Amino acid sequence: MRVVVVHREAAEAVELAARLRRDGFDAEPYRYQGTKGFRELRANPPHAILIDLMRLPSYGRALAVLLREGKGTRSIPLVFLEGDPEKTKKVKETLPDAGFATLPRIGAALRRAAARPPSQPVVPEGPPVVVKLRLREGASVGVLGAPEGFAIGGIELQRGRRDADVVLLFVRTVAMLARELRGFAELAKSRSLWVLWQKQASKSAGDVTFARINELCAPLGLVGYKACAVDATWSAVAVARRKQSRARK
CA-based radius of gyration for the chain: 19
Mean pLDDT: which of 19-28, 127-136, 188-197 is highest?
A: 19-28
Write down the CATH number for the domain with range 129-248.
Answer: 3.40.50.150
Q: What average pLDDT does range 149-170 have in this prediction?
A: 90
Report the half-sphere exposure of 117 (CA within 13 A, side-chain side).
Answer: 12
Confidence category of residue 117, pLDDT binned at 50, 70, 90: very high
pLDDT at 249: 44
Give the pTM.
0.58
d(CA 12, CA 83): 14
Domain spans of the chain, in order of start: 2-115, 129-248
Encode pLDDT of 67-113 as tens digits. 998 889 999 999 999 998 998 998 999 899 999 999 999 999 999 99
Same fold, 2-115 and 129-248: yes
Q: Is the pLDDT of residue 179 over 80?
A: yes
What lies within 8 Å, CB to CB, of 167 at 6+ separation is 141, 142, 143, 144, 161, 184, 187, 191, 192, 193, 194
Give domain 2-115's CATH architecture.
3-Layer(aba) Sandwich (3.40)
- The CA dihedral of 86, 14, 202, 128, to the nearest 10 degrees, is 10
Which residue has better confidence, 215 or 186? 215
Do the beta carbons of residue 28 and residue 21 sit within 8 Å? no
Which residue has better confidence, 246 or 37? 37
Q: Is the pLDDT of residue 33 over 80?
A: no
Length, in residues, of the chain:
249
